[in-house]
Amino acid sequence: MNYDVSFKYIIVYLSIYSRSFSFGERKIIITIHALKRARQRNIAFPDQVYFTICTGRIKCFGKNQIKFIKKSQKGSIICVGEETYDFIIIKTIERGK
């Protein structure tokens, strides 16, 4: 599969289902960097990322930084983001131990 074609597919998928991809009143925005890291770390996107944000443990740190943490069989999935007034911007996705 061509890398650029699959990337466009993910962006289209998010734009179609953007209504259900929110956290409370805030919309979730996932950066291109986070998409690349999820793909690099073999994290099933958007399924595992969606469940991590919806059902994961929340840890706030810094002034407006947030982590969504969900344990899985292959290790925990961590979505690191930043809170703004209207949005939560997911900047990177990683695997923990």
Domains of the chain: 3-95 (3.10.450)
Q: What is the mean pLDDT of residues 57-72?
A: 93
Distances (CA, A) of 53 to 1, 15, 40, 41: 28, 17, 19, 17
pLDDT of residue 44: 79
pLDDT of residue 97: 78
Whole-number percent of the chain with pLDDT over 70: 77
- Do the beta carbons of residue 15 and residue 28 sit within 8 Å? no
Element counts in the chain: helices (H) and strands (E): 3, 6
Which of the listed ranges 3-7, 13-17, 52-56 does the model predict with the highest average pLDDT?
Answer: 52-56
Residue 8 has pLDDT above 80, yes or no: no
C-alpha 84: how far from chain center: 16
pLDDT of residue 76: 93
Lookup: tokens for 36: 């690349």
Q: Tell me: the pLDDT tens digits for 26-59?
A: 888 888 888 888 889 888 777 788 888 888 999 9
Return the closest-CA partner of residue 21 out of 8, 37, 10.
10
C-alpha 46: how far from chain center: 8
Which of the listed ranges 9-13, 25-29, 81-85 does the model predict with the highest average pLDDT?
Answer: 81-85
- Mean pLDDT (the chain) is 78
